[in-house]
Amino acid sequence: MSLALHSAVVTDPGLIRSNNEDSAFAGARLIVVADGIGGLPAGELASDIVIRGLRDLDAKLPDGDPERVLRVAVAAANDEIQIVADEDPDRYGMGTTCTAMLLVDDQLYLAHVGDSRGYLLHEGAFSQVTVDDTYVQMLVDAGEIDRVEARHHPQRSLVMQALQGGGYELHTQVWSPTVGDRLLVCSDGLSDVITDDTIAAVLGMHPDVEECAQTLVKLTLAAGAPDNVTVIVADVVDA
């Protein structure tokens, strides 16, 4: 059985930031969000490097294991970030998150580093399929705070690893999606502002992926949108 993604992407700089350091790609096989860090203009450049490095996988998957292909593409983007950063002292510390989902035949491959998130809505059940690479997530994992406290922690935006040219641990998963599954990939501009319960409700009430993504961004803007916000909503369909 061959599957495809019917996807839509919406992005907005938010109400505080002067530019948008998020980059994204939404295709029939690949969806990816990269949230740049490092300030103007370096974060925007880093996230764009990741998107340019991965987007060709949507059109033609190179030979080999898809998970390895994703790992190689992410590693190449990380190397390019280091090269570009070395060219200009003002780009020191530039980097980006990366959360990508690649559909190959009937398997979905996830690659993730940073705090952009991936979610799955399957037969009405909503779940987060990524784990944040953040300081507060470490506290949650250690049992020192719960998820509710994590949402309001003063250091909730402290990312412990990202693609910055150096070492990183890429988290990967693979699973078998089914027709009717709905995927969400987003920057923390959404997940830091809108609760999981609200996100799940919106995903379940809007059949159209474009309308669904627009609604999530509008809710974020209505709540103050202190950061850039990027949302990709994708439905798994028959190819």
- Write the pLDDT tens digit of every residue in 35-68: 999 776 799 999 999 999 999 999 988 788 999 9
Q: Quickly tell me which residue has 């599954």 as its tokens.
A: 181
User: Could you tell me the CATH number of the domain that includes residue 77?
Assistant: 3.60.40.10
Give the pLDDT of residue 40.
66
Give the pLDDT of residue 230.
98
Give the pLDDT of residue 85.
95
Q: What's the domain range around 68? A: 3-238
Give the pLDDT of residue 146.
81
- Under a CB-based contact definition with an 8 Å cutoff, are residues 50 and 32 in contact? yes
CA 16, chain centre distance (Å): 21
How many distinct structural domains can be found in the chain?
1
Cα four-point dihedral sign 231, 115, 96, 101: negative
Give the pLDDT of residue 61.
80
Rounded CA-CA distance 163/170 in Å is 9
* Crossing angle of the two packed helices 42-54 and 66-86, in degrees rounded to 10: 150
- Predicted structure pTM score: 0.95
- Spatial CA neighbour of 183 closest among 109, 113, 239, 114: 109
Q: Quickly tell me which residue has 């693609």 as its tokens.
A: 163
- Positions of the chain with pLDDT lower than 70, given as ranges: 1, 40
